């Protein structure tokens, strides 16, 4: 688990570096980066929508994509086995 965690942190740092370089080049060509705070208002609806779009949807999509991949990979073993094994909270969910 520790090597996977270190690899994930390294990939996160690399992704942030690439995003920063891309943002610098875009701003040099006159394309400013959007201000994320401009999408937030003080209304409860805005809070709920931002919470859904930043916390709920990515988690649901990750589960659907990952579980779909595992399910398809296990289908040659039989549909019942594939459904049971793909729904177990094994090491990859920690």
Of 18-22, 68-72, 77-81, 89-93, least confident by mean pLDDT is 89-93
Asked whether 8 and 1 are in contact (CB, 8 A), the reply is: no
Asked whether the CA dihedral 32, 36, 37, 39 is positive or negative, the reply is positive
Asked whether 76 and 65 are in contact (CB, 8 A), the reply is: no
The residue among 30, 10, 35, 8 whose CA lies nearest residue 94 is 8
Report the alpha-carbon distance of residue 28 to residue 64 in Å, rounded: 38
User: What are the tokens at 3?
Assistant: 């090597």
Asked whether 21 and 15 are in contact (CB, 8 A), the reply is: no
Phi-psi region of 25 (alpha: psi -120 to 50; beta: other; left: phi over 0): alpha
Average pLDDT value for residue range 14-27: 89
Task: With 0.85 as the threshold, say if the pTM is over it.
Answer: no
Query: What does the pLDDT look like over 22-54, one tens digit per residue?
Result: 989 988 998 887 766 655 667 888 788 888 888
Average pLDDT value for residue range 51-68: 81
């Amino acid at each position: 688990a520790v090597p996977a965690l270190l690899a994930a942190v390294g990939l996160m740092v690399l992704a942030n570096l690439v995003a920063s370089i891309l943002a610098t080049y875009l701003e040099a060509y006159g394309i400013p980066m959007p201000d994320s705070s401009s999408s937030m208002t003080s209304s409860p609806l805005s809070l709920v929508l931002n919470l859904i779009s930043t916390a709920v949807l990515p988690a649901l999509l990750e589960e659907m994509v990952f579980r779909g991949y595992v399910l398809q990979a296990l289908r040659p073993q039989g549909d019942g086995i594939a459904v049971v094994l793909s729904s177990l909270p094994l090491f990859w969910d920690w």
